[in-house]
């Protein structure tokens, strides 16, 4: 297999670069690696850096590459750790040349740098049996490691059952959501019937080793389940399938200094003080109280917050014995 200048070799990790677009007659390139096993099998891709400021997605792919011995692999893994290089170099979500979101540009119809990058990546997806696309929360907040699966009417999976892949991945949360037009995961299944699992881990330009280890273990679980790697699937006991409709957002009513009382993953109950915001110029204070029981799904990491910005989000879990605030529909616990 040859992708750009990267030529795969049996039992080896090889590297190169791939031209994804042209800007002002200059070629734009992304790094490519291929892990090829000694035996024939499925071809898959693992990608990161779709959004340039999502460092944990990039780091997860990098750490995964260096945690695997190619001799353990059956088939091939195409690795694209930084799909949006200009965004990464400028620490911004969108592609710099036209300020567009790469994850709304698939399958890459039309002209423009972002469309061309999407089209080149989409051509790689066509060679694969499935893919795993790694993201994080972006520049300001940290997300609990989780996977995203799309479901249609009556909660039936309509994306090649990434719900099942997500369950094998083993994150505490599988977030159900509809997805948007132009997303890699949405368009790959709709047009090619190739499932793509979206992984979300951490954020705020910080690396959490515990989260990244969870991500590597999750990717390996999926590969073991598909016969690409050998090993034992290791999953946590607790796993929740929750619709993003049951995610509540807590926003500040002041510009001020933010003091968070909880970390991501912490359990909270209705009435708990989640955060305090203090405006030292006008001597104003404001507390955010939890309206539900659940756990902290994301939190802002910086200690300063603007009015109307999100301090944290909570996922409401199905069971809350203390306050009995469980929602009636759309959730199950497995």
Residues that bind Zn ion (CB under 5 A): 51, 54, 135
Residue 51 CB, nearest approach to Zn ion (Å): 4
In this complex, which beta carbon is closest to Zn ion, that of residue 185 or of residue 314? 185
CB of 180 to Zn ion, least distance (A): 12
- 227 CB-near residues (< 8 Å, 6+ apart): 41, 42, 74
Cβ 170 to Zn ion shortest distance, Å:
21
Residue with tokens 């990039």: 58
Q: Measured from the CB atom, is 169 or 262 closer to Zn ion?
A: 169
Q: How many residues does the chain have?
A: 334
Residue 25 Cβ, how far from Zn ion at the closest point, in Å? 30
Q: Find the shortest distance in angstroms from Cβ 135 to Zn ion.
A: 3
Nearest position to Zn ion, beta carbon: 135
For residues 149 and 195, is the Cβ–Cβ distance under 8 A? Answer: no
- For residues 20 and 32, the answer to whether their CB atoms sit within 8 Å is no
Question: Which one, 247 or 291, has the nearer CB to Zn ion?
Answer: 247
DSSP 130: E
Give SS3 for 249: strand
Q: For residue 231, what are the CA distances in angstroms to 210, 217, 227?
A: 21, 11, 9
CB closer to Zn ion, 76 vs 100:
100
Residue 205 or 266 having the CB closest to Zn ion = 205
Closest to 49 in 3D by CA, of 80, 75, 78: 80
166's enclosing H/E stretch is: helix 162-169
For residue 38, the number of C-alpha atoms closer than 13 Å in the C-beta half-sphere is 4
Q: Which is nearer to Zn ion, 33 or 51 (CB)?
A: 51
Of the pair 51, 150, the CB lying nearest Zn ion is at: 51
Report how far residue 193's alpha carbon sits from residue 185's, in angstroms, rounded to the nearest whole number.
Answer: 10
Q: Which two tokens stand for residue 87?
A: 């965004």
Q: Coil, strand, or helix at residue 173?
A: strand
CB of 162 to Zn ion, least distance (A): 16
How many contiguous H segments (helices) and E segments (strands) does the chain have?
A: 6, 20
Cα gap 52→198, rounded to integer Å: 16
Residue placing its CB nearer to Zn ion in the complex, 51 or 246 = 51
Shortest Å, Cβ 237 to Zn ion: 29
CB of 185 to Zn ion, least distance (A): 11
Is 180:186 a contact under the CB 8 Å cutoff? yes
């Amino acid at each position: 297999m040859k992708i750009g200048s990267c030529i795969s070799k049996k039992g080896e990790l090889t590297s190169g670069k791939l031209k994804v677009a042209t800007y002002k007659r200059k070629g734009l390139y992304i790094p490519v690696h291929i892990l090829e096993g000694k035996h024939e099998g499925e071809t898959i891709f693992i990608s990161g850096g779709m959004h340039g400021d999502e460092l944990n997605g990039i780091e997860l792919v990098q750490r995964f590459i260096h945690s695997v011995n190619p001799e353990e692999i059956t088939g091939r893994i195409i690795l694209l750790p930084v799909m949006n290089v200009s965004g990464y170099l400028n620490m911004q979500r969108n592609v710099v040349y036209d300020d567009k979101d790469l994850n709304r540009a698939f399958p890459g119809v039309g002209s423009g740098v972002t469309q061309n990058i999407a089209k080149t990546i989409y051509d790689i997806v066509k060679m694969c049996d499935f893919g795993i696309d790694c993201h994080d929360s972006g520049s300001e907040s940290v997300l609990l490691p989780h996977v995203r699966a799309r479901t249609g009417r009556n909660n039936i999976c309509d994306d090649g059952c990434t719900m099942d892949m997500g369950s094998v991945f083993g994150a505490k949360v599988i977030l159900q959501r509809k997805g948007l037009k132009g997303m890699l995961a949405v368009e790959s299944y709709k047009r090619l019937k190739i499932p793509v699992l979206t992984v979300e881990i951490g954020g705020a330009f910080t690396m959490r080793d515990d989260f990244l280890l969870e991500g590597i273990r999750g990717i390996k679980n999926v590969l073991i389940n598909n016969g690409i790697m050998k090993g034992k699937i290791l999953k946590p006991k607790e796993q929740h399938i929750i619709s993003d409709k049951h995610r509540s957002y807590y926003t500040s009513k002041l510009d001020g200094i933010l003091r968070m009382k909880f970390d991501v993953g912490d359990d909270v109950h209705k009435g708990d003080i989640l955060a305090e915001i203090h405006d030292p110029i006008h001597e104003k204070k404001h507390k955010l109280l939890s309206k539900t029981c659940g756990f902290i799904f994301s939190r802002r990491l910086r200690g300063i917050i603007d009015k109307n910005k999100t301090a944290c989000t909570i996922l409401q879990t199905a069971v809350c014995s203390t306050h009995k605030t469980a929602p009636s529909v759309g959730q199950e616990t497995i």
